[in-house]
Structure 1
């Protein structure tokens, strides 16, 4: 099957793209196209107008700048997987990139496109939440920063305006005693997550207690969601197997999975518990402050 006819635009600058979004009737943005193109092919999506941003070279970047890791709208999953900066300093990003689908999709699909898709089974939204990241959107009047906590509304629905273009996502550069990790359960290579957990831990320089914590969950609610109860339970405490076990239980309690052909809701909640403990252990070790033995097995 072929896609239905549509009008195709190829802007070369961000301003040109935003101008098109403002003037055209209900345009659809094409970046990596790994979700959109199959939907076009099977006519599950039938846009009248497509704005293809692949010609905007200024959006193809991944760099640390002004206290943030900044990932441009055309940076591919493979760019994250191949980055030395990511490998050295951003454990959760390094964990996540190789787990996204398969090599073909990682070579074309974009991190920003995945976030914009707002699929609750998508991995990057949870990582962004764990790091208290932001989505940067260009609108006709300029840029605005949307906290990740405020970005996701419903499955495939966000707070992004119709005339806004996401130019990048960004997270704060980690401190010296900070570590992060992402763990994901899936049936086989290329599958979406049955459950996933991203974790960030920052430790106090003086006493080794957890200064701040972030936990984002994948595929266990109607959007990527934070385990705020578990985060609060961790902060101010010294890391230990018992503490991480308690945090895992709290994350599982705050998750809201649904039973489907891949597993029951109780099983998925249990996996949130397990994955949270594992990710917390890895994050603590990567922070360079402590090695915490794990209590759980799968």
Structure 2
């Protein structure tokens, strides 16, 4: 089956794209297209107009400055997978990138597109939440910075307003004693997660956990944070018992549904195990001796 007819626009600047989004009726944005194109092909999506942002060179970047790691709207999954700065300093990003679908999709699909689609089974939303990340959007009224905690509403629904274009996502640069990790359970290569957990730990000079972030994939109606688990970690020294408690709390906070891949209780157990493993990796990457391997 072929896509239904649509009007195609190719802006070359952010301002031109925002102007189109404001003037057109219900436009659809095309970046990587790895979700949109199959939907077009099978006519599950029938947009009248598509704004293709691939010609906006200023959106194609992955870079680190003094304050943050910044990914432009055209940064591909493969860019994250291949970036030295990611491999050296951002463990959760380095873990997640090669787990996204397959190489063909990673070469074209974009991190921002995945986050903006707000699929609860998407990996990047959980990573962004664990890192206290932000989404930067440009609209008719200028630029708006949206904390990741305020971005996801429902499956495929966010707090973006009409006429807004997400130009980048960003996370803070790592502290001196910081580590992060992402663990994911999937049935086979290329599948979405059955369950996934992103973790980030920042330690103080005495070896206590100063800041903890835990993002959950595929076990709620959106990517979600395990806040009770985060709270139980902060102010404590890492230990197998502490990480076990955090895993149990994260599982309790999850809300998975039974499906053909497993029942809800199984997925909750996987959240528990994946949380413990990801916390162990994050602690090790922060320079703390590995404390747990469930």
TM-score where L is the length of structure 2: 0.99
Does the alignment pair 1:112 with 2:112?
yes
In 1, Cα distance between equivalents of 2:41 and 2:107:
20
Q: Secondary structure at the match of 1:199?
A: strand
Provide the aligned C-alpha RMSD in A.
Answer: 0.5
In 1, Cα distance between equivalents of 2:34 and 2:151:
21
**TM-superposition CA deviations, 1:5-46 (whole Å, max 9, x none):** 000000000000000000000000000000000000000000
In 1, Cα distance between equivalents of 2:175 and 2:197:
21
Q: Secondary structure at the match of 1:166?
A: strand
In 1, Cα distance between equivalents of 2:66 and 2:74:
20
- 1:20 equivalent in structure 2: 20
In 2, Cα distance between equivalents of 1:45 and 1:126:
26
Q: Secondary structure at the match of 2:25?
A: coil
In 2, Cα distance between equivalents of 1:72 and 1:2:
30
Unaligned runs of 5+ in 1: none
In 1, Cα distance between equivalents of 2:28 and 2:252:
37
In 2, Cα distance between equivalents of 1:124 and 1:154:
16
In 1, Cα distance between equivalents of 2:281 and 2:124:
18
In 2, Cα distance between equivalents of 1:65 and 1:95:
21
Q: Secondary structure at the match of 1:96?
A: helix
- 2:82 equivalent in structure 1: 82
Q: What are the within-5 Å matches in structure 2 for residues 182-261 of structure 1?
A: 182-205=182-205, 207-261=206-260
1:181, CA displacement in angstroms?
0.0
In 2, Cα distance between equivalents of 1:74 and 1:143:
18
1:199, CA displacement in angstroms?
0.1
In 1, Cα distance between equivalents of 2:292 and 2:160:
42
Q: What are the within-5 Å matches in structure 2 for residues 113-192 of structure 1?
A: 113-192=113-192
Q: Decide whether the 8 Å contact of 2:276 with 2:292 is kept in 1.
A: no
In 2, Cα distance between equivalents of 1:287 and 1:198:
15
Q: Secondary structure at the match of 1:223?
A: coil
In 2, Cα distance between equivalents of 1:293 and 1:101:
29
1:66, CA displacement in angstroms?
4.2
Q: Secondary structure at the match of 1:125?
A: helix
1:142, CA displacement in angstroms?
1.3
In 2, Cα distance between equivalents of 1:240 and 1:150:
31
- 1:93 equivalent in structure 2: 93
Q: Secondary structure at the match of 1:26?
A: coil
1:131, CA displacement in angstroms?
0.2
Q: Secondary structure at the match of 1:169?
A: strand
- 1:49 equivalent in structure 2: 49
Unaligned runs of 5+ in 2: none
**TM-superposition CA deviations, 1:225-261 (whole Å, max 9, x none):** 0000000000000000000000000000000000000
Does the alignment pair 1:11 with 2:11?
yes
In 1, Cα distance between equivalents of 2:209 and 2:143:
34
Structure 1 residue ranges, 4+ long, deviating more than 4 angstroms after superposition? none
